């Protein structure tokens, strides 16, 4: 979706979509949908394994794309956050694993 059309009262009247004859690169996608990287980042934390794995594959692809060098810092930060324990129980499990 590229644009949401609203009437003078702010109600959504419809959406305008763009159809492309070939797949877009990540830089073009970012231009059309600036919130896409945030969606991918949130998807990395999804409870659904398929969603998580797909999001991680997208991040890995973006890291390999020379057109996305301006986003490498954020992409690496996302990857690093995924390897940090999120709960005290995870921290305890990891520390027990290291001490053995």
pLDDT, mean of residues 12-19: 78
The residue among 100 and 5 whose pLDDT is bigger is 5
* Predicted pLDDT of residue 56: 87
Three-state secondary structure call for residue 5: strand
Name which of 57, 82, 66, 77 is nearest 26 in CA terms: 66
55 in Cβ contact with 46 (< 8 Å): yes
Instruction: Give dist(CA 58, CA 52) in Å, integer.
Output: 10
Name which of 59, 33, 25, 31 is nearest 45 in CA terms: 59
3 in Cβ contact with 16 (< 8 Å): yes
- Is 2's pLDDT higher than 80? no
* Predicted pLDDT of residue 50: 93
The residue among 82 and 99 whose pLDDT is bigger is 82
């Amino acid at each position: 979706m590229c644009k949401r059309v609203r009437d003078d009262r702010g109600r959504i009247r419809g959406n305008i979509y763009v159809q492309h004859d070939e797949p877009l690169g990540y830089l073009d996608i970012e231009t059309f949908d600036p919130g896409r990287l945030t969606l991918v980042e949130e998807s990395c934390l999804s409870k659904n394994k398929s969603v998580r794995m797909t999001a991680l594959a997208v991040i890995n692809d973006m890291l390999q794309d020379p057109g996305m060098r301006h986003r490498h810092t954020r992409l690496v930060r996302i990857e690093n956050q995924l390897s940090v324990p999120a709960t005290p129980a995870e921290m305890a499990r990891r520390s027990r694993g290291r001490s053995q």
